[in-house]
Amino acid sequence: MKRQLLKEELKRQGKAPKKRLWGVLGLVLVLLCAALGSLYYTNQKSRFEETFQKGMALRDAGKYEAAVEVFIKLHDEHPAFVRAPQALFLAAEIQDLRLGRYSDALLTYLLLERDYPDAPEVAPARREVAIVYKYRLNDCSQAIAVYQKVLDQSGNDHDQLQYEVADCYFRLNNFEQARIEFESLLKNYPESGLIAEVQYRIAVTYALEGQLPEAVGAYRLVIERWKDSPYALEASFGLATVLEEQEKLVEALKILEGLDGIYPKQDILEHKTEQVRERIEKKKKAI
């Protein structure tokens, strides 16, 4: 019995080193695979970075078409690369500012937002989309929708964004809604540097809608509160124009003559002044 137990113990002792050996070999194999995988990933990342830098070099050299091609290809073939969102943003920027391919730029910005909604490039991309719609494609309706999205984000220039929305409505000849947006800006951002201009544009919306008494009041407010602003001069000219429409020709002429030499558009001023003088003379003759 003892002899049998001894044999079994010797067998177990003989197998143990083999098991340990296989365990060590397995661990070495795992570590080797991990090392090779890490090396492959590092080399791949390095190649992607080289491609990105190639696009940057082409852009800086003024080879804009080639740069766009590199950036777009980088996104298409390696969308998981950490710089892929930046590559799309740069491609869209070049298409917009350097190549004048505004529709392509718009699509690239929108592709960036679709594929990488959480990327830091999305916020500036949305602003650029609004600019492309408004100033490149003259599509103020679409621009308004995008500006509203941007306004929902945090930022310190919401007064400017609100101004852009109001200006879009103005360009669409929706003067009432433009005025509502301008008045919202006055209420929400009383310290904005745009206040004088906004008040002036509110007066313009009244004038364009034929609400002459309201226009007179709004123009006078600009003149009184921001007398040193260039918008005070524009408001004075606008006030004179409205007073002329109200047949208050003498008062209008006095304001126009006061602008002589200081109003920036002297040719327009001279024409308007002469026009009012002629109307006054005709009225005198009629009497």
Q: Which of 106, 127, 154 marks a domain boundary?
A: 154
Look-up of token digits 């869209």? 92
Return the amino acid letter for 167.
D
**Is residue 161 assigned to a domain?**
no
| % of the chain beyond a pLDDT of 70 | 84
Together in a domain, 149 and 241 = no
Together in a domain, 149 and 197 = no
Together in a domain, 244 and 198 = yes
pLDDT level of residue 45 (50, 70, 90 thresholds): confident
CA distance 17 to 215: 99
pLDDT tens-digit readout, 163-178: 999 999 999 999 999 9
CA distance 179 to 166: 7
Q: Which of 107, 129, 154 marks a domain boundary?
A: 154
Range of the domain at 244: 191-287
CB atoms within 10 A of CB 253: 20
Q: Provide the pLDDT for residue 39.
A: 47
**Is residue 160 assigned to a domain?**
no
Its pTM surpasses 0.85: no
Together in a domain, 146 and 195 = no
DSSP 8-state code for residue 119: S
- CATH number for the domain spanning 146: value is 1.25.40.10
pLDDT, average across residues 25-49: 63
pLDDT, average across residues 201-219: 98
Tally the domains of the chain: 2
What ranges make up the beta strands (E) of 116-265? Answer: none
Contact 212, 246 (CB under 8 A): yes
CB atoms within 10 A of CB 279: 15
Q: Provide the pLDDT for residue 213.
A: 98
**Is residue 205 assigned to a domain?**
yes
**Is residue 43 assigned to a domain?**
no
- Written as six digits, the tokens of 154 are 């945090």
| % of the chain beyond a pLDDT of 90 | 81
Q: Which of 132, 154, 176 marks a domain boundary?
A: 154
